[in-house]
Structure 1
């Protein structure tokens, strides 16, 4: 349908064979356990429990408590190998319509065991837990659980219910969520079944009408279309055999494109192991259903040598995957080193020589070459480079960026930004936006000019988390002002390089400084006054803030902020931000938006703050200690490989020391 090269069609077919042979986690030798167990975080503090005990079964059991929810079967294997079960209220099932039921096996045996659940073998470690997810319908027999000679037939997970029909209509394409009275999810045919960070099921439809079977009785249906459109909720109660028509005509919340601002998600994975194999047609449907102008599908490895979707990049580099109906998509690369950070490039005209480093068992197991080399290669191929998901914590101290040591945070960004080989930072991402803001502001206060961008790191092939990995694409997005150019990857990359960007996971935010917007460089004299206007449109915002190198300059609880800035002797920068709590339009993260700054040079001098320069120098010193102790280097070439990274850090140190010398006082 998209005219894709044969290599891409063959790639998808190969992934489907792998999925059929290996099941969940295809493509990986050992997918980390938290990928499988993430869905249970909705029941309670599962990850906190696991962190304290290392026991997934105990963590799930503690989160569930005495009352088991619908859709869950807890099977306990006692010390003699005998199984018993607890389960929640039955989910309604219809003939031919699958409803998902999770079976968690909690073993009390002193040995590893294979338990068969409905004919599927589940490996359960000594005293540990196993998970099997079943799709059941009204005609499903009891769930047979077999452990050695012992057998248990679990009945009552699903109750037969008469069927009804929903006809869902949206002229633009949409995201739908359909729940029965027990919270069970229902999906249209032929689409990936997914759940977001708040455990809401969803699927996307193309423009027009989709018909789907559902159980008769009370339903809760939500229709949405990204951040720019109002959601709509429905509460139909179809009777047996009845067809109910639901028509969603999305009304706009705001329209940035009318003023030349276009949206993008710069960090989306088409296939990345998990539950599904996703075809590019599925990705196009999701993009359209979210009203997202540009989607960047990044090839990348996960834990080994397999670089998912590499054939997509190799066969389309420099060309659009599709460009129609106000949508553009491009293949790109996420270059991954879990010690130094991840970098992606938008607009690659070719494929870099090295695609990842530092992963044991791969062809590039060493933490070498430095990330700066990857940034330079991607830029030489025409890409705008962005450090992904930069900070995992609120970053109260500089050392928080450095521990534990392989958490994929953007550590080398502090050096690469100083060297001018990176264009942007993901300020809205799957990690901690508060910590990213701290890092970003320190870099800005050293006179560095990085654009704020957004990348969700959404895994389209995952049905469930880890949150927010299974969210819809574009739940966080960067808007770029294209300056009259038509929508294209090249125009978007140019706007990123120029800093004409705003990031958000919900509201629309604008910044005006003396008539100028984000990315503008002003040259003024001491004592001059700047008139600043900040506005926000959308829900969930609690505080509207104007930031500068000395922190908050002004704030309000309203939706508009006016402030006058009197310039001193030193350069400055001015950026707007919106902060909030939970909101229906913001999935699994607090409300947040931020602009790239307007940069203000004073008498030709950039901003320079010694506190920020010293903070960055402390990060570089800590990073050198970290890589010296924990870096993976070829034993035969360790001195040279480590020396290459130290040379990058030393060059960056010169920049920050110069900033400290130029700082006032």
Structure 2
């Protein structure tokens, strides 16, 4: 930050009419901030801060000013040379879509409290992020707020401490996770894998030991977790798990925590008013999609993600996927057996005949980091759920490698749980 009175007696007032993420920078890359605001940079190296109707001391040189507001909005930008005194800059980013108007609320379930709570509050409203789950960090203690909305929550923005709990490969997962669920917590993994994963060997070799999603193959089989992170970055692993008969929600991950919060979001379709409890219930029932920006919808005969349809052989369904948002190049509809159809941005549709149990998901993909992935609509046939042999065998190999890895690290308690998960998968092969 550089607010040197010897260099400038000029100010700019930034106004959008609602909280935004602002960036102000000069040609040499210097960032300019309101007084008292800690400098921060996003993934592109641009300075940023949050709020509205803010005043900044600036130099008498050409500046670029940008206003953004999370993934549901475009960005507005201008350049100017401030005049003497105060210069008013009014910018309002255009809304691209309004998820909440359709009952969808986006959340960041992995926000560490490494900054003052006021910074988190400003960020949540400035990014129009509906739900924030705060985890312990190096900032101020927040234990007294567990189970209660934090003070800056309102009708469309909810902040909680420990709304979602991330497993760490504990010795007695069944008892511990059951108690956490009784408290209403969502159970999942904060980080998934360090890179693209296609084989069991990659899954075990690339799992993040700090938040060991390598164990998801165990916990999913035993019904101990609600979600898989990240269904965006580790989509093949996620589809192997649901193809093997596990029913877990697609949620966004947290591969790195640089830049503004809410860069990846878990959207959940909430029944009625947004509360921490209604959002958690929606995630737990799989009414979700994970995204880096696109708004992605899936329907199978009018039923959305998280639904289970019990069909008779030969039943025909119409499946549609629809996407809104910049950067998308392809929309795909996938079943357990592969691609059903794909097409350019907008809406894709296909007919599907139910012969054996399967699922259907929608995926949106584009250049860079543009990704979105829905939870499935499960298509049971004569009350039998999908348990594709190739996917079950994949999970059994994953278990085998995992057992070798943890034998001398976790203890016999978890090895017994691995053995129990193996029995579940083997029963699905019958």
Range of TM-score over shorter length: over 0.9
CA distance in 2, matches of 1:188, 1:179: 13
CA distance in 2, matches of 1:536, 1:330: 29
Q: Deviation at 1:311?
A: 3.8
**Distance of aligned partners of 1:456 and 1:188 in 2 relative to their CA distance in 1, 3 Å threshold:** farther
Higher mean Cα deviation, 390-399 or 289-298? 390-399
Q: Deviation at 1:371?
A: 4.3
**8 Å contact from structure 1 (residues 193, 202) kept in 2:** yes
Check if 1:324 corresponds to 2:139: no
**Number of the residue aligned with 1:437:** 235
CA distance in 1, matches of 2:140, 2:2: 40
Aligned to 1:490, the other structure's residue is in SS state helix
Aligned residues: 428
1:62-77 paired onto structure 2 within 5 Å: none
Check if 1:236 corresponds to 2:80: yes
1:85-484 paired onto structure 2 within 5 Å: 95-96=4-5, 161-205=7-51, 207=52, 209-239=53-83, 241-271=84-114, 278-299=115-136, 308=138, 311-313=141-143, 315-322=144-151, 323-324=153-154, 326-332=156-162, 342-343=166-167, 368-403=170-205, 407-408=209-210, 409-427=212-230, 433-434=232-233, 436-456=234-254, 468-484=256-272
Check if 1:620 corresponds to 2:422: no
**8 Å contact from structure 1 (residues 500, 596) kept in 2:** yes
Rg comparison, structure with higher value: 1
**Distance of aligned partners of 1:166 and 1:469 in 2 relative to their CA distance in 1, 3 Å threshold:** same
Poorly superposed stretches of 4+, deviation over 3 Å: 308-311, 370-374, 404-409
CA distance in 1, matches of 2:206, 2:300: 40
Aligned to 1:649, the other structure's residue is in SS state helix
Q: Deviation at 1:310?
A: 8.5
Aligned to 1:201, the other structure's residue is in SS state coil
**Number of the residue aligned with 2:367:** 581
Aligned to 1:518, the other structure's residue is in SS state coil
CA distance in 2, matches of 1:473, 1:218: 29
**Distance of aligned partners of 1:310 and 1:451 in 2 relative to their CA distance in 1, 3 Å threshold:** farther
Match of 1:545 among 321, 332, 355: 332
**8 Å contact from structure 1 (residues 456, 473) kept in 2:** no
Q: Deviation at 1:166?
A: 1.1
Match of 1:653 among 422, 426, 430: 422
Q: Deviation at 1:318?
A: 1.6
Aligned to 2:429, the other structure's residue is in SS state helix
Q: Deviation at 1:397?
A: 1.8
**8 Å contact from structure 1 (residues 481, 501) kept in 2:** yes
**Distance of aligned partners of 1:164 and 1:325 in 2 relative to their CA distance in 1, 3 Å threshold:** farther
Q: Can you list the C-alpha shifts for 1:565-608, whole angstroms capped at 9, x where unaligned?
A: 1111x2010010100113xxxxxxx1001111111101111011
**8 Å contact from structure 1 (residues 386, 424) kept in 2:** yes
Q: Can you list the C-alpha shifts for 1:626-645, whole angstroms capped at 9, x where unaligned?
A: 1125x1x6xxxxxxxx2111
Q: Deviation at 1:406?
A: 5.7
Aligned to 1:244, the other structure's residue is in SS state strand
**Pairwise CA RMSD:** 2.1
Q: Can you list the C-alpha shifts for 1:376-411, whole angstroms capped at 9, x where unaligned?
A: 231132212122221111013211122267643401
Gaps (5+ residues) in structure 2? none
**8 Å contact from structure 1 (residues 196, 470) kept in 2:** yes
Q: Deviation at 1:195?
A: 1.0
Q: Deviation at 1:177?
A: 0.8
**8 Å contact from structure 1 (residues 180, 219) kept in 2:** yes
**Distance of aligned partners of 1:558 and 1:381 in 2 relative to their CA distance in 1, 3 Å threshold:** closer
**Distance of aligned partners of 1:382 and 1:565 in 2 relative to their CA distance in 1, 3 Å threshold:** same
Q: Deviation at 1:261?
A: 1.0
Q: Deviation at 1:625?
A: 0.8
Higher mean Cα deviation, 445-454 or 369-378? 369-378
Aligned to 1:385, the other structure's residue is in SS state strand
Aligned to 2:213, the other structure's residue is in SS state coil
CA distance in 1, matches of 2:133, 2:305: 22
CA distance in 1, matches of 2:280, 2:304: 17
Q: Can you list the C-alpha shifts for 1:25-51, whole angstroms capped at 9, x where unaligned?
A: xxxxxxxxxxxxxxxxxxxxxxxxxxx
**8 Å contact from structure 2 (residues 8, 60) kept in 1:** yes
Q: Deviation at 1:251?
A: 2.2
CA distance in 1, matches of 2:289, 2:205: 30
Q: Deviation at 1:368?
A: 4.9
**Could you say which structure has the greater relative contact order, defined with CA pairs below 8 angstroms and 6 or more residues apart?**
2
Q: Can you list the C-alpha shifts for 1:512-566, whole angstroms capped at 9, x where unaligned?
A: 1101111111011111111011111111001101011012221112321011111
Match of 1:598 among 350, 354, 377: 377
Aligned to 2:195, the other structure's residue is in SS state coil
Q: Normalized against structure 1, the TM-score is what?
A: 0.62
**Distance of aligned partners of 1:421 and 1:500 in 2 relative to their CA distance in 1, 3 Å threshold:** same
